[in-house]
A and B are shown apart, each in its own frame.
Chain A
């Protein structure tokens, strides 16, 4: 039978599902050839509307897969099944042993007169969005631009959101009597309409467009209801149809799609179809999760397995225009005798409906609008016994989930798979679960459930900071903030046990410093500090320290550069340029540190906090001042930000960068907060990281002016400082944050928790109270006295420290390690 011996696998279609198939098979012995009509790498079409945030298609790209031949921009135009050959548009022929059709779908455009006029678009690809943007930007009429989206389903609302992102006020026209008719019932849709209409959308349900005409610069749409809309742009997103224009002479399903059996195989045993172009046993699916499941089935089948399509969970949870919507199971209560339990809170703006069997014992489905936080607990219970508590008003949703319940529907991962990974020790946190089970890597809505399972399995690390405090760092922060405790000894006496250790002492010192408690080497704080903070320098392997003066934005005058050179020469310090656009001076002894800093402070330098869990640098490119391509003054902003946040103590170090244009020379997206200039202002990205676990920062706000930018960064940083764990970088913090980026945006942009005034005030006092730490030492004989090598022989150099020369500089002689067994 075809397929059990690896040969050449040709995949037609480079969408999300085709990409998934290649990903699953990348370590197999199959030679894989992919035909992709679009001339760009595979991208996340589900997140298409977010393209409007950055207009950077790279943000949507799926991971590049090695080991396959990608023929991008090469449409497959015919297939000769007898010769087993696929012919590309360029005439190229590729023979196959197995062929997989993953051609996706095409937008359905209702036959409205005028639908082909310029200014009318479909909404399916990145190119479509570029075309829509071109239409919108070409519109020159004064006043707010106006658009019409035909289709009020999931896609239509996404398209409307994209239009809003382009500064267009959308009209949404839906033939059905309500929005999202497939997923949401009447009650839920009523609330949804009310919530989205607050966002500059106008909803017209129960009607359709009867014609579109051009009138000068405008488009006029006539609705069946008699209304006329005056428009700049029209977008069709009234659904999709399986794409089967590549005719292989294969049978199609009753509603289109290449007809396949449960193994996703067509009537030709060498040809499979997956994703939106497939009709599995006659049924086509327009969601990505079933498509992924089909990809896994085919990968298994051609590797000799017997997996079949398990049927699709068409449950959905999404955030449309900032409104949570979830629908699962029998959302419309079509099961005979089904009962509905509805809680519609018009004041809070939440709607929930549970559908249960006629004996009220089995959960059949449900709809949630406005607040979908119960979705991860509820969806896996579909078809299972429903806990009685759920049916009470405000009933708890904290219920035990059966082992075979699907936790991640994007990747069809069951609770059993996840608990196995946890209990075998393979995964100890959400990030590891994501890596080894793929759960949570799709839409991410199951991440809270992953955390819960970790806790239930008892593996999740206790949140206790250390043996001396049962509190998490965030809890200690709140205690210190609320009680205004200013010393470690008072805190541990009241809220902890024992004397403290190398974990809790620096953590508390950092909290005290974040809340502003004077110099970090004050009498009660000094003993808490790790050696780097204790000596305001970075300990190196031979017991000496390195010194990094602050060079805001990486901008430095020749005079200051000369001072650094002279200091380095006079103290014999090894000199190296850092990755953060400053200069590191190595090999200083404890006694030398104050002498070095005396010279640096006199020349106008300040501490660079390279030693602290604090703001490090704000890198920058040269920006508009010099660069031919710059669109904003990146150096000016970087300096402003570095001076604003210098000295800010945080759970871990903070790095930042500002790029003056989309070329991103400052590598801002690898930073905790990175700013990239746009034509209209700034885009702010947060949660980036280089290092051991690289992560690209996520776009938080776009096209904001400097004042807004600074305000959002103030809030972001203070929210992070309050809530992160000890030594948790913003990237890990954001990954683990319940609700992720959306939640962060709700808190620091929309002020959903009402804490933004407090956060801003906290930052304002940081800015006001900032003082250079090194100047503080030099001005205080008590503190200075601590910079002594030997209490009985001050000034005597440590005899263990020896240097040798390497490339013209002094480097440490390796230390003999005494009698140690490692």
Chain B
């Protein structure tokens, strides 16, 4: 499924995309050019806001930090670094011909 043009993404920021089933993904571009996609819903608050979190690293691991209660989620795995029992789903994503796609 096509999400958006790659050019829309900004390094170290996220965007939200709506899926046909009404669910949402957060798509992030990191400074090294990698694209990641996670569920947009923050499991701690239930709000669909992970795309609006600050992107950075913890101990070198790229993360997004939920803007609600500030837990960090690993971009590559969706694992919550503050509560290892919690994670968000990861979506596979690729960039083809300048377009970001969920696969």
Given that A818-B43, A821-B85 are known contacts, is A799 also in contact with B22, CB under 8 Å in the complex? yes
Taking the complex as formed, is A429 at the interface, i.e. its CB lies under 8 A from any CB of chain B? no
Closest residue on chain B to residue A797 by CB atoms: B18
Interface SS majority for chain A: loop
If A499-B12, A527-B12 touch, whether A800 touches B41 (CB-CB below 8 Å) is yes
Choose from B49, B56, B67 the contact partner of A505 (Cβ within 8 Å): B56
Q: Which of A108-116, A336-344, A787-795 is near enough to bind chain B?
A: A787-795
Tell me the minimal C-beta distance from A522 to chain B in angstroms.
12
CB neighbors of B among A513-542 (8 A):
526-531, 534-535, 539, 541-542
Which residues of A from 480 to 513 have beta carbons under 8 Å from B?
A: 498-502, 504-506
- With the chains together, A445 CA to B44 CA distance in Å? 45
Q: A527-B10, A535-B52, A792-B17 are in contact. Are A502 and B46 (CB under 8 A)?
A: no
B98 contacts chain A at the CB level, 8 A cutoff: no
Which of A530, A531, A791, A821 has the most chain B CB within a 10 Å cutoff?
Answer: A791
Whether A47 is near chain B, meaning CB under 8 Å from some CB there, is no
A816 to chain B: which residues have CB within 8 Å?
46
B80, closest chain A residue (CB): A820
Asked whether B4 lies within 8 Å of A791 as measured between CB atoms, the reply is yes
Which residues of chain B from 59 to 74 have a CB within 8 Å of any chain A CB? 59-60, 62-63, 65, 67-68, 70, 72
Closest-CB distance, B35 to chain A (whole angstroms)? 13
A45→B47 CA distance, assembly (Å): 55
Query: Within 8 Å of chain B (Cβ to Cβ): is A817?
Result: yes
Inter-chain contact A541/B86, CB cutoff 8 Å: no
CB contacts (< 8 Å) of A817 on chain B: these are: 43-46
Question: Whose C-beta in chain A lies nearest to the C-beta of B2?
Answer: A792
* A505 B54 Cβ-Cβ under 8 A: yes
Tell me the bound Cα distance from A535 to B47 in angstroms. Answer: 16
Contact B12 A815 (CB under 8 A): no
Q: Is B46 a contact of A815 with CB atoms below 8 Å?
A: yes
Please encode chain A, from 277 to 321, with 1 for each CB lying within 8 Å of some chain B CB and 0 for all others: 000000000000000000000000000000000000000000000
List, in ascending order, chain B residues with CB within 8 A of A499's CB: 12, 30-31, 56-57, 62
Q: What's the minimum C-beta distance from B70 to chain A, rounded to whole angstroms?
A: 6
Select one of A467, A502, A791, A821 contacting B8, CB under 8 A.
A791
A819 contacts partner chain B, Cβ-Cβ < 8 Å: yes
B65 touches A501 (CB 8 A): yes
Most chain A beta-carbon neighbours within 10 Å: one of B22, B56, B65, B72:
B56
Whether, in the assembled complex, A576 has its beta carbon less than 8 Å from a beta carbon of chain B, the answer is: no
Q: How far is A527 from B17 in the complex, measured between Cα atoms in Å?
A: 18
- Which residues of B have CB within 8 Å of A5? none
Q: Which residue from B3, B48, B83, B86 sits with its C-beta under 8 Å from A800?
A: B48
Question: Are B68 and A818 in contact, CB atoms less than 8 angstroms apart?
Answer: no
CA distance A799 to B18 in the complex (A): 9
B-contact bits for A798-822, CB 8 A (1 contact / 0 none) = 1111000000000000011111111
Interfacial chain A residues near B56, Cβ < 8 Å? 468, 498-502, 504-505
Does B15 have its Cβ within 8 Å of any Cβ on chain A?
Answer: yes
Which residues of chain A have C-beta atoms less than 8 A from B78's C-beta?
A: none
> Closest approach, in angstroms, between the C-beta of B15 and any C-beta of chain A?
4
Instruction: Check B24 for interface membership: any CB of A closer than 8 A.
Output: yes
Any A CB within 8 A of the CB of B77: no
Interface residues contributed by chain A, number (CB under 8 Å): 41
**Residues of A contacting B17 with CB < 8 Å?**
790-793
A6 at the interface (CB under 8 A from B): no
Give min CB distance, B28 to chain A, whole Å: 11
Q: Judging by beta carbons under 8 Å apart, are A821 and B83 in contact?
A: yes
| Cα–Cα, bound, A319→B4 (Å) | 67
Q: Which residue of A lies closest to B46 (CB)?
A: A815
Is A543 at the interface (CB under 8 A from chain B)? yes
CA separation between A542 and B59, bound complex, in Å?
30
A814 to chain B, nearest CB (A): 8
Contact of A501 among B2, B11, B41, B58 (CB under 8 A): B58
Docked complex Cα distance between A604 and B46 (Å): 36
**B27 interfacial contact with A, CB 8 Å:** yes
In the complex, residue of chain A having the shortest beta-carbon distance to the beta carbon of B54: A502
With the chains together, A819 CA to B63 CA distance in Å?
A: 21
The chain A residue sitting closest to B23, CB to CB, is: A799
Given contacts A501-B58, A800-B46, A817-B43, contact A792 B18 (CB under 8 A): yes
Judge if A796 is at the interface, Cβ distance under 8 Å. yes
Q: Do A542 and B47 have beta carbons less than 8 Å apart?
A: yes
Given A501-B57, A502-B54, A527-B11, are A541 and B16 also a contact pair (CB < 8 Å)?
Answer: no
A527-B10, A798-B48 as given contacts; A819 in contact with B43, CB under 8 Å: yes
What is the chain B residue whose CB lies nearest that of A501?
B56
Contact A820 B43 (CB under 8 A): yes
Given contacts A467-B58, A817-B44, contact A526 B13 (CB under 8 A): yes
Contact in complex: A543, B47 (CB < 8 Å)? yes
Indicate if the CB atoms of B54 and A501 lie closer than 8 Å: yes
- Of all chain B residues, the one with the shortest Cβ separation from A817 is B46
* CB pair B13 A527 closer than 8 Å: yes
Q: Specify which chain A residues have a CB less than 8 angstroms from the CB of B53 in the assembled complex.
A: 502, 531
Cβ of A595 to closest chain B Cβ, rounded Å: 19
**Is the beta-carbon distance between A793 and B18 smaller than 8 angstroms?**
yes
Q: How far is the CA of A302 from the CA of B80 in the complex (A)?
A: 57
- Chain A residues contacting B8 (CB-CB under 8 Å) are 791
Q: Which A residues lie within 8 Å of B38 (CB)?
A: none
* B52, A531: Cβ atoms closer than 8 Å: yes
- Candidates B2, B59, B86; contact of A821 at CB < 8 Å: B86
Residues of B within 8 A of A467 (CB): 58-59
The answer on a CB contact under 8 Å between B16 and A791 is yes
A791 touches B15 (CB 8 A): yes
Tell me if B10 and A790 are in contact (CB < 8 A).
no
Q: Output the residue of A499, A793, A799 with the most chain B CB within 10 A.
A: A499
Are B49 and A539 in contact (CB-based, < 8 A)? yes
Q: Are B43 and A796 closer than 8 Å at their CB atoms?
A: no
Whether the Cβ atoms of A791 and B27 lie closer than 8 Å is yes
Chain A residue nearest to B31 (CB atoms) is: A499
A552 to chain B, nearest CB (A): 29
In the complex, the chain B residue whose C-beta lies closest to that of A540 is B47
How many whole Å from A541's CB to the nearest CB in chain B? 6
B54 touches A530 (CB 8 A): yes
Residues of A within 8 A of B45 (CB): 541, 543, 815, 817
Considering the chains assembled together, what is the distance between the CA atoms of A467 and B18 in angstroms?
35
Please determine whether B4 and A498 come into contact, CB atoms closer than 8 angstroms: no
Report yes or no: B48 in contact with A543, Cβ–Cβ below 8 A. yes
Q: Complex formed: what's the CA distance from A800 to B58 in Å? A: 29
Q: For B2, list chain A residues within 8 Å (CB).
A: 792
Whether B57 lies near A500 (C-beta < 8 A) is: yes
Task: Determine the distance from Cα of A259 to Cα of B92 in the docked complex, in whole angstroms.
Answer: 87
Most chain A CB inside 10 Å of its own CB: which residue of B10, B12, B31, B83 = B12
A542 surroundings in chain B (CB, below 8 A): 46-47
A789 to B49, CA, bound (A): 10
Closest to A590 in B: B52
B31 engages A789 (CB within 8 Å): no
CB pair A790 B16 closer than 8 Å: yes
Q: With a CB–CB cut-off of 8 A, which chain B residues contact A527?
A: 10-13, 54-55
- Which of A526, A790, A815 touches B47 (beta carbons < 8 Å)? A815
A658 vs B68: C-alpha distance when bound (angstroms): 33
Tell me whether A530 and B67 are in contact (CB under 8 A).
yes
* Complex CA–CA separation, A535 to B53 (angstroms): 12
A792 in contact with B47 given A467-B59, A526-B13 (CB within 8 Å)? no
| A793 to chain B: closest residue by CB | B18
19 further A-B contacts with Cβ under 8 Å, apart from A543-B49, A799-B18, are A499-B56, A501-B58, A501-B63, A526-B10, A531-B49, A531-B53, A535-B52, A541-B45, A541-B47, A542-B46, A790-B18, A791-B15, A792-B4, A792-B17, A793-B17, A793-B18, A799-B22, A817-B43, A822-B44
18 contacts between A and B (CB under 8 A): A467-B59, A502-B53, A502-B72, A506-B54, A526-B13, A527-B11, A530-B54, A541-B45, A542-B47, A543-B48, A790-B17, A791-B27, A798-B24, A800-B41, A815-B45, A815-B47, A819-B43, A821-B85
Pick the 4 closest A-B CB pairs, nearest first: A815-B46, A543-B47, A531-B67, A501-B56
